[in-house]
Chains A and B, each alone.
Chain A
């Protein structure tokens, strides 16, 4: 079993829908990262968090340290949000989830 599990693997949504991607991890962490990988292949860091909640535009990330669980939410989704979203648990080295492929249809 992978140390970092994401769900769902694939997600298709209509433009405007609220989206949630979940991440559970079994290792100790200094930080939990959410990354976005666009169809072109580039990887961008969206959030890094060790407690509570962070918000950036339409994206919100939350973490529950006791339950070893994090969620990434996208409000008012848009086709340009279509990408693979990757969760990574970091305790001096990164352990990655398998990614969630999101497709937002107009």
Chain B
């Protein structure tokens, strides 16, 4: 059983389009995250949700909108895609939002904007 799953694994799209990435965890965790890994492999947090409520929103363009329908799901919707959005996006989850909690990562979604 996959603990944290993401779909799709690969996403190739044209500039200006709107796309979504889905994430689901079956670990019963309260907290979920979205991370972006750029072309230099540097990971950076984008959003964190705890029990469906947004608790971290780093300086991410508001073209990115996370949605958490329940605490097992955190989806990422991106409007008006730009070339610079090309990256690998990782979803993760942890038991709670406090720092001393192991994080479990999804397999990543490689987004390519043409």
- Which residues of A approach B to under 8 Å, CB–CB? 29-31, 33, 35, 37, 41-45, 48, 50, 84, 86, 88, 90-96, 98-99
Q: B40: which A residues are within 8 A, CB to CB?
A: 98
The verdict on A41 contacting B45 (CB below 8 Å), with A30-B98, A90-B99, A91-B99 known, is no
A86 B45 Cβ-Cβ under 8 A: no
Complex: chain A residue closest to B103, CB-CB:
A45
User: Among residues 50 to 104 in chain B, which have CB atoms less than 8 Å away from a CB atom of chain A?
Assistant: 56, 58, 88, 90, 92, 97-104
CA–CA, A42 to B41, complex, Å? 12
CA–CA, A24 to B107, complex, Å? 27
Q: B104: which A residues are within 8 A, CB to CB?
A: 45
Q: Is B43 an interface residue (CB 8 A)?
A: yes
B43 A48 Cβ-Cβ under 8 A: no
Taking residues whose C-beta sits less than 8 angstroms from the other chain, chain B's interface range is: 20 to 34
CA–CA, A96 to B35, complex, Å? 11
Q: Is B105 an interface residue (CB 8 A)?
A: yes
Complex: chain B residue closest to A101, CB-CB:
B41
B99 A84 Cβ-Cβ under 8 A: no
The verdict on A30 contacting B103 (CB below 8 Å), with A84-B41, A93-B56, A98-B40 known, is no
B99 A41 Cβ-Cβ under 8 A: no
20 contacts between A and B (CB under 8 A): A30-B98, A31-B100, A33-B103, A35-B105, A37-B41, A41-B88, A42-B105, A42-B108, A48-B102, A84-B41, A90-B99, A90-B100, A92-B56, A93-B56, A93-B58, A94-B43, A96-B43, A96-B44, A98-B40, A99-B42
A93 B41 Cβ-Cβ under 8 A: no
Minimum Cβ distance to chain A for residue B30 (Å)? 13
Q: A98: which B residues are within 8 A, CB to CB?
A: 40-42
CA–CA, A95 to B45, complex, Å? 8
